[in-house]
Amino acid sequence: MGMTGAEEIQILKQKEHIFIGVPVLDVVRPCRIDDGIIQLTSEEEIQFKLRFELLHKHLSFFIPASGSGSRMFQFLYDYLNQTTETNQAQTEQFIRRISSFAFYKSFPAEVKEKVENFTWSIEDLIAYVLGEDGLNFGLYPKGLIPFHSLGPFILNPFQEQLIQGSNLVKRPIDFHFTIQSKFEKHFQSAIHSLSEMTGDEYSVTYSEQDPNTNSYAFYSDGTLALGDDGEPIRRPAGHGTLLTNLASIKSDYVLVKNIDNLQHFSQSDASTAQWKILVGLLDELKEAFSILENQPSLVEFELLNKRFQFLPENELKSEAELIHLISRPMRVCGMVRNEGQPGGGPFYVQKNGETRKQIVEKVQLANTDKVNALLMQSTHFNPVMMVLDFKDSQGNAYDLTNFAEEDSYFVVEKNHQGKTIQFIEQPGLWNGGMSNWNTIFIEIPNDVFTPVKTVLDLLQPSHQSI
């Protein structure tokens, strides 16, 4: 096993990170309405929508889409492996309601007959849905698994993101998906089918998470984990590595969302309206920052800060500090109320004597009474829609790596051939990956957040035609 000096340094650095443990963030308090999260009035919403309609900026969607679809069906795997009361109830619901799923329309007539006449065992039906001899959903990424039907058509989330995103503007809009390259021909086929269906062309590019960013794995005693071939075991280092993919996009503003956060097309107007509001607000801020760059004014910034709450209070002491603050990428984050979803949320974090807004995951927090009390006071969830601007006032892109927090990493444990291995996940894309961006949190309605984590979520009203 020959290694370069750079690889050896990387291995030592990652090993050190793992055995130091995850750095604990010094959280001050959660961001809440009027304390880090803004609520827009209906007049402001109208104003930002109007600004959007008059906009002449180039827009792109950036949608991570490499996630495996098999997780949607985990309860079926669990049922086959070891039946419990919970996974049996989920499996029964899946089978009883199977004709309600859009993908049921793609079942051949003879398969439907077996399902409807109960001549197939549960195991046969599961094997058909997940296995290679059937629909093969156990192999495909989530973006290629049909979610909804629209008239006679069944659509996967990849196709629906294209349809719904294209409704946003009358002019062409670009889409960039991060995928596993082995599925590119499947995505291309899905575009071709969609174009035949709608008569529209779609501007789509893809990229893959860079394998060079994969983490090295270690056993619990600190030794490097090797595969059967004697080479180091490496694992994808989380969506924080997508910062490089994001940086390659040349558009003025970039709209980010997860592939599985969709509503049925008949219920998608609310999301379209929210995108317009978020983009319109970002554009107004861009203009305000350009004015401040040319005519620095702490008084003007204070008024802006009071309205949009970048900083907990105006900490700026000089115009030089003001220029330093505004000369960085900017993100407007749509935040929904936390209704019990697993995941982090927005907090004020103190570091190097400065207090800044961050998206924080629970794993980054100390398990103390004080921190747990702060978590209980938290009201909002991770951002579910983001609009990004990472160009300066001259149109030059910032180097995004300069605004990431390298020590906001996570340590992941997995089982490999009966042994526990540990590896680093890089700072999450909207956690440490965007730590030092200018950040605006805006409350948006919860009905624009309808993620599909399990296939049973598709039975929810937001995923049905109205």
Is 410 within the bounds of a domain? yes
Number of independent structural domains in the chain: 2
Q: Say what the pLDDT of residue 78 is.
A: 93
| 3-state class percentages of the chain: helix first, strand second, coil last, to nearest 5 | 45, 20, 35
Structural domain includes residue 173: yes
Write down the pLDDT at residue 152: 86
pLDDT in tens, the chain (466 residues): 567 777 888 889 898 888 887 778 889 999 999 999 999 999 999 999 999 999 999 999 999 988 888 989 999 999 999 999 999 999 999 999 999 999 999 999 999 998 888 888 899 999 999 999 899 999 999 999 999 998 888 999 999 999 999 999 988 899 999 998 899 999 999 999 999 999 999 999 999 887 788 889 999 888 998 888 888 998 887 777 788 899 999 999 999 999 999 999 899 999 999 999 999 999 999 999 999 999 999 999 999 999 999 888 767 889 999 999 999 999 999 999 998 766 679 999 988 888 889 998 887 888 888 888 888 889 999 999 999 999 998 999 999 999 998 778 888 888 888 889 998 888 778 888 999 999 999 999 999 999 999 999 999 999 988 7
Q: Are residues 166 and 263 in the same domain?
A: yes
Measured distance CA(237)–CA(215) in Å, rounded: 5
Does 58 lie in the same domain as 76? no
Backbone torsion region of residue 314, taken as left when φ is above 0, otherwise alpha when ψ lies between -120 and 50, otherwise beta: beta
- Residue 376 in any domain: the answer is yes
Looking at the fold, whether 150 and 78 belong to one and the same domain comes out as no
Q: Is the dihedral of CA 331, 67, 107, 462 positive or negative?
A: negative
Within 13 A of 365's CA, how many CA atoms are on the CB side? 26
Nearest to 386 by CA among 284, 245, 281: 281
Stated length of the chain: 466
Kindly state whether residues 240 and 361 are assigned to the same domain. yes
Q: Which residue has the tokens 């001549």?
A: 119
The CA distance from 282 to 354, in Å, is 24
pLDDT at 235: 85
Both 83 and 219 in a single domain? no
Q: Are residues 198 and 155 in the same domain?
A: yes
172 and 106 assigned to the same domain:
no
Domain stops at, among 140, 159, 185: 140
**Quick one: which of 62, 28, 57, 39 has its CA closest to 434?**
62
Residues 99, 190 within the same domain: no
Asked whether 63 and 177 are in contact (CB, 8 A), the reply is yes
Question: pLDDT of 3-58, one tens digit each?
Answer: 777 788 888 989 888 888 777 888 999 999 999 999 999 999 999 999 999 999 99
Contact 354, 310 (CB under 8 A): no
Tokens of 220: 């619990």
Instruction: From 100, 123, 140, give the residue that closes a domain.
Output: 140
> What's the domain range around 115?
71-140
Tens of pLDDT along 421-463?
A: 998 888 778 888 999 999 999 999 999 999 999 999 999 999 9
Q: Is residue 10 part of a domain?
A: no
Residues 398 and 370 in one domain: yes
Minimal CA–CA distance to 442: which of 371, 357, 367, 362?
357
**Per-residue CA distances from 434 to 61, 114, 332, 388, 428 (Å):** 17, 51, 12, 10, 8
Beta carbons of 234 and 203 less than 8 angstroms apart:
no
Whole-number pLDDT of residue 1: 53
- CA–CA distance from 138 to each of 75, 127, 262 (Å)? 12, 9, 21
Which of the listed residues 97, 124, 140 is the one where a domain comes to its end? 140
Instruction: Kindly give the residue spans of alpha helices, DSSP state H, lying in 119-241.
Output: 122-130, 157-166, 184-198
Q: Longest Cα pair distance anywhere in the chain, in angstroms?
A: 77
Percent share of the chain, pLDDT over 70: 98
